[in-house]
Amino acid sequence: MPPARRKPKRNKGAGKLNNARHEVGVDTPEPTAGSPSGIHHLEPEDGELFEHPPTDIGPNPMNRRLALRNMDEMIDSVKRQGVHTPGAAMHTELFMEQYPEWADQVLYPERTYILGPGHRRHAAALAAGKPMLLILRDQWAKDRTVEENLISENNDRDDLSPIEQALQLDLLRKRGMTGEQIAERSGYGNRGTVSKFLSLLVLPQEIQTEIHERRMSHSDGYTLATIRDSDKSNDTAAAHELQLQAYGWMRDEGITADAAKSRLKVQATVFPTRNKKIEKPTKPQRDEGGNQQRAADVSHEKHGTNAAEDPIQPDQDGSAAGTDTSIPHQSTGEGDSQERQRQERASGTGVDEREKQTERDQVTAAEEASQRRGLACRLLLAQERYASAPDLSVMLINAVLNQLEWQDAAALAHSWLRELGKGPSTERPSMYFVEVAASEDATLKRRAAFAIALAANELHTTRQDPHWDDRARAHLQFLITNKAVAYEPTEHEQELLGLVSSEAQ
């Protein structure tokens, strides 16, 4: 009597299907699509490895892939060898029962199985006409852990873009999980990593597309996502406008995301309404009889039709300097105003006032430029990389060799570093730098030295204004060319650099 045929062995993840087929007398190494091999006439158990026709397997709506990339090579491999790395699947009916909120988004509810991880392998099996190798994971649906298992499977795959990974993590956030819980469930390390991925989803669609298509790095995208509007929000229309402006500089000028962000900060802090050119007083003109016209009349003719676009600059005491509030050709009740005006012109009083106004305009322009440069210096000091070694050496030499500058430069550098929260909390500048010198923090020492060098050059530049020497020009040129700041010089500074011509005085 022949021995009874042995019951087929179940292979729980071992992948030794050919041996099992041979033992039960079924030898079909290449089963046709649509007809399962002999061993798989039995219903697979949870956790079991099995093959199944890809046409009876549906995609998972939780899969956040936006595209299947590099498929040609995978399809060729599957045609030659079959699917040798298993995907994961659940019974479709069970998935829809456990996830009713996703049921309406299941594309093929009539198919037996629905995928977990393995969408590229499934697409390749369909294209190659080969069976799909799967592990049954019904327990994922029962435990409602499909999202995190999708993420855990995919988070190290190069073919997933940062945006796709962020969309996958967002599934867990929508379930109310905290950053720590998402990191633990998904295998993304820590809350900070999760937060950086999720922040990409607040960016404008144009920037998200750049990141998804890998024309912008994840880190640059995160930097842009930290740009906020005046209300400290990064997902409003106003924030998106700033983010797109920074992206435009990156694209057009080749600067880094950090430099673009710094430029926005300089622009918003010192000039909230963007740079405005300070108009120089117009040279007095003469009429046909050789008499000078009043500067106020010339200014009125030039600006009268566009006063709202070029507001009068207030003087330091808050008043509008250089303006004439009296009505021309009208008596004030204290005598003939026209006669007084003629007397003023004859005595030169009007000319003196115009000269004083010119000086006030120059002082205002110099002060605004100095404030803006000071902010740029602080932004440089906030970076971890300050300047190249040759640049820093030259700057330090200037500071060290000009001993009279040292005390003031140290005081200014101390104020910058304290504002940034760098170094000890000592209030006296001299003691602050003594403590820095005695510390073992090499980075802090280098930052402090750089701060003194910057401060010395800034003080020198401010004192030289408006007659800059080579050192002052080199200081501004350093701020302009440093990619961490990408400083934009004001009209006043451009004139001093010779980049634009001043109007005739």
For residue range 28-53, list pLDDT tens digits in order.
445 444 444 444 456 888 888 999 99
Cis peptide before 466 (omega within 30 of 0): yes
pLDDT digit string, tens, across residues 404-414? 788 899 999 99
Tokens (6 digits) for 304: 């009268």
Residue 352, exposed/middle/buried by CB under 10 A (0-12, 13-18, 19+)? exposed
Pairwise CA distance, residues 212 & 227, whole Å: 20
- Which has the closest alpha carbon to 275: 490, 486, 480, 485? 490
pLDDT band at 313 (very low <50, low <70, confident <90, very high): very low
The 8-class DSSP code of residue 7 comes to P
Helix, coil or strand: residue 34: coil
Q: Which contiguous run of DSSP H or E holds residue 50?
A: strand 49-52
**In this structure, are 265 and 387 located in the same domain?**
no
Q: What is the mean pLDDT of the chain?
A: 75
Q: Give the CA radius of gyration of the chain.
A: 36
- Which has the closest alpha carbon to 395: 384, 378, 409, 383? 409
Report the predicted TM-score, pTM, of the whole model to 2 decimal places.
0.50
Q: What is the pLDDT of residue 495?
A: 83
Which pairs count as long-range contacts for 456-461, CB under 8 Å and 24+ apart, including other chains? 456/395, 456/398, 456/399, 456/402, 456/405, 456/406, 456/409, 457/395, 457/398, 457/399, 458/370, 458/373, 458/374, 458/377, 458/412, 459/405, 459/408, 459/409, 459/412, 460/398, 460/402, 460/405, 461/370, 461/373
Query: Average pLDDT for residues 224-242, to the nearest whole number?
Result: 92
* Structural domain includes residue 209: yes
Sign of CA dihedral 422, 425, 428, 432: negative
Q: Is the pLDDT of residue 186 over 80?
A: no
Tokens (6 digits) for 84: 């040798």
Helix, coil or strand: residue 85: coil
- Which has the closest alpha carbon to 60: 15, 5, 105, 123? 105
Q: What is the pLDDT of residue 220?
A: 93
**In this structure, are 24 and 144 located in the same domain?**
yes
Structure-derived torsion over alpha carbons of residues 434, 436, 440, 442, reported in degrees to the nearest 10: -130
pLDDT digit string, tens, across residues 246-282? 999 889 888 888 888 877 876 665 444 444 433 333 3
443 or 327: which leads in pLDDT: 443
pLDDT digit string, tens, across residues 60-109? 988 877 777 677 888 888 888 888 788 899 999 999 999 999 999 999 99
Structure-derived torsion over alpha carbons of residues 439, 441, 446, 449, reported in degrees to the nearest 10: -20
Percent of the chain with pLDDT over 70: 69
**In this structure, are 194 and 152 located in the same domain?**
no
* Structural domain includes residue 354: no
Q: Please name the residue ranges forming H helices in 284-348.
A: 295-303, 337-347
Residue 233: CATH number of its domain:
1.10.10
**The residue type at 369:** A
Identify the domain containing residue 235 by its residue range: 166-270
Residue 201, exposed/middle/buried by CB under 10 A (0-12, 13-18, 19+)? middle
The 8-class DSSP code of residue 200 comes to G
The last residue of a domain, from among 270, 293, 326: 270
pLDDT band at 402 (very low <50, low <70, confident <90, very high): confident
Most confident segment among 18-32, 152-166, 193-207, 454-468: 193-207
DSSP 105-128: G-S-TTSSEEESS-HHHHHHHHHH
Pairwise CA distance, residues 34 & 211, whole Å: 40
Pairwise CA distance, residues 91 & 139, whole Å: 10
Q: Is the pLDDT of residue 318 over 60?
A: no
pLDDT band at 289 (very low <50, low <70, confident <90, very high): very low
* Structural domain includes residue 100: yes
Tokens (6 digits) for 113: 């199985």
Q: Please name the residue ranges forming H helices in 383-489.
A: 389-401, 403-420, 429-438, 442-464, 470-481
**In this structure, are 134 and 42 located in the same domain?**
yes
DSSP 240-295: HHHHHHHHHHHHHH---HHHHHHHHHHHHHH-TT---PPPPPPPP-B-TTSPBPPH
- Which has the closest alpha carbon to 25: 14, 12, 39, 44? 39
**In this structure, are 433 and 490 located in the same domain?**
yes
Q: What is the pLDDT of residue 53?
A: 93
* Structural domain includes residue 469: yes
**In this structure, are 213 and 123 located in the same domain?**
no
* Structural domain includes residue 481: yes
Q: What is the pLDDT of residue 114?
A: 93
**In this structure, are 138 and 189 located in the same domain?**
no
The last residue of a domain, from among 212, 240, 270: 270
**424 and 432 Cβ atoms separated by less than 8 Å:** yes
Helix, coil or strand: residue 49: strand
Helix axes 470-481, 442-464, angle to 10 degrees: 130
Lowest mean pLDDT among 5-19, 442-456, 469-483, 490-504: 5-19
Please give the tally of structural domains in the chain: 3
**In this structure, are 226 and 206 located in the same domain?**
yes
**In this structure, are 40 and 151 located in the same domain?**
yes
pLDDT band at 218 (very low <50, low <70, confident <90, very high): very high
pLDDT band at 110 (very low <50, low <70, confident <90, very high): very high
* Structural domain includes residue 286: no
Q: What is the pLDDT of residue 41?
A: 56
Q: What is the pLDDT of residue 89?
A: 92
pLDDT band at 335 (very low <50, low <70, confident <90, very high): very low
Tokens (6 digits) for 134: 């799967």
Tokens (6 digits) for 483: 């990619």
- Which has the closest alpha carbon to 477: 464, 463, 503, 496? 496
**In this structure, are 146 and 32 located in the same domain?**
yes
pLDDT band at 359 (very low <50, low <70, confident <90, very high): confident
Pairwise CA distance, residues 59 & 105, whole Å: 10
Query: Average pLDDT for residues 495-503, to the nearest whole number?
Result: 65
**In this structure, are 173 and 93 located in the same domain?**
no
Q: What is the pLDDT of residue 432?
A: 93
77 or 345: which leads in pLDDT: 77
Work out the number of other CB atoms within 10 angstroms of the CB of residue 243: 29
